[in-house]
Amino acid sequence: MNIIDTVKELSTKYLISSLFGLSLLLLGILYQDLFPIIYPEVIRKLPKEVFLKMTTLAILLVVLSSILSLLFYLKSKVKLIPKCGVLWDKNKEAHCPSCQSPLSEGTFYNAPANMHYFYKCIKCDKKITLKHGGKNIILDEAHKLLNPKELKQ
């Protein structure tokens, strides 16, 4: 994943949550100042049917915005697929199977007749080797085993 995609994704996520929080804050301020003044007048002058329709619409809008916020959160959540002893994201970047944090750059370990690839977790300090079928494998083989359809979901 390049830096521009990361910045776009994070800025969109934080911008939407900031706007939602700001709108709730402004509604709270307006409610505190205007509600005691306007509410008695509205109750006296509006027919009950119109007032009930407005209240129902306001409740539906709050519920709808909550549902949309939840759906946006679930869509933007990183999905990790287990394969070869590590977790992979949609950009074929490895994550620790224990703490799910991104792994450091991998290193080749080249012993006689046993060349394999391992990652080191920055957070929990584990060395994690790539394995398939009980054998250590290199990074290119692990990438070939990743199913592109699984990663896109």
3-state secondary structure of 127: strand
Q: Which of 84, 95, 81 is nearest to 133 (CA)?
A: 84
Per-residue model confidence as pLDDT tens for the chain (153 residues): 567 777 777 788 788 888 888 888 888 888 788 778 877 877 788 888 888 898 899 999 999 998 998 888 877 766 777 777 788 777 777 788 777 777 766 655 555 556 666 777 777 777 777 777 777 777 777 777 776 655 555
Query: How wide is the angle at C-alpha 63 spanned by C-alphas 62 and 69, nearest 5°?
Result: 90
Hey, where are the domains in the chain? 3-76, 81-152
DSSP label at residue 121: B
